[in-house]
Chain A
Amino acid sequence: DTGVSQDPRHKITKRGQNVTFRCDPISEHNRLYWYRQTLGQGPEFLTYFQNEAQLEKSRLLSDRFSAERPKGSFSTLEIQRTEQGDSAMYLCASSPEVNSNQPQHFGDGTRLSIL
């Protein structure tokens, strides 16, 4: 399968702990996006990368959140000092070049539950 893969699929942790998620995009895709989705809502944009450069961060991404994409391949999203409000599905998507009118390809997400 050459789609977008995310790991882990589920993460349960106690409030205050740090968590890290990984996303492996489709190999030839330059663009990588992170979204957050809460129950009953559509995904909300968090941040995106063009190759290894992080080009935009949503105001939803507080200073407890950090994302990286070393070498322009896989990406990680870390949440420090987790809070109950961080409970959500975290989705990763990738796409080819900008302005190409191409769809984004999504992984199955990481569901985070904060106890």
Chain B
Amino acid sequence: SQQGEEDPQALSIQEGENATMNCSYKTSINNLQWYRQNSGRGLVHLILIRSNEREKHSGRLRVTLDTSKKSSSLLITASRAADTASYFCATDAKDSWGKLQFGAGTQVVVTP
């Protein structure tokens, strides 16, 4: 079963616009991670946010975490065509020994 649920399932934007996607989960977590996957490739780690953190930045990426609502968001600012990919949130649940539970992902298409 998949713990995380991403919203929206798909997102189409133009270059320069911001893209926001949300993730909800069900259990207590050690951390929440966001990954990107290009078609036919493996997952690339973007950001890890710990359960005691509320916001984290990395370049054009901003992640928030609200443990009371069991939700997270990923914001990509000033999007580029190269940002076209599927984005997944994954939770490292407490007592899970590090195994990740992924959502179904958000497919983002950035058009020039």
Contacts and interface: CB of A to CB of B under 8 A. Distances in A.
A6 B31 CA distance: 26
Given A105-B45, A106-B43, A95 B98 contact: yes
Give the secondary structure class of B's interface. strand
B42 A45 contact: no
Contact of A40 (B40, B41, B101, B104): B104
Contacts of A105: 45
Contacts of B44: 106
Given A103-B45, A108-B41, A45 B101 contact: yes
Interface string B22-65: 00000000110101000011111100101000000000000000
A56 B50 CA distance: 24
A31 B97 CA distance: 10
B43 A101 contact: no
- Place the interface of chain B in its size category: 20 to 34
A98 B98 contact: yes
Nearest to B31: A101
B48 A103 contact: yes
B42 A109 contact: yes
A107 B42 contact: yes
Contact of A91 (B2, B31, B42, B48): B42
A33 B105 CA distance: 20
Contact of A98 (B88, B97, B100, B102): B97
Interface string B77-112: 000000000001010100001111111110000000
Interface of B: 2, 4, 30-31, 33, 35, 40-45, 48, 50, 88, 90, 92, 97-105
15 contacts: A35-B100, A42-B104, A56-B97, A56-B99, A98-B97, A98-B98, A99-B98, A101-B50, A101-B92, A103-B33, A103-B48, A104-B45, A106-B35, A106-B43, A111-B40
Interface of A: 4, 6, 31, 33, 35, 40-45, 48, 50, 55-56, 91, 93, 95, 98-99, 101-109, 111
Given A98-B97, A101-B48, 11 more contacts: A33-B100, A42-B104, A42-B105, A43-B102, A45-B99, A55-B97, A99-B98, A101-B30, A105-B45, A106-B45, A111-B40
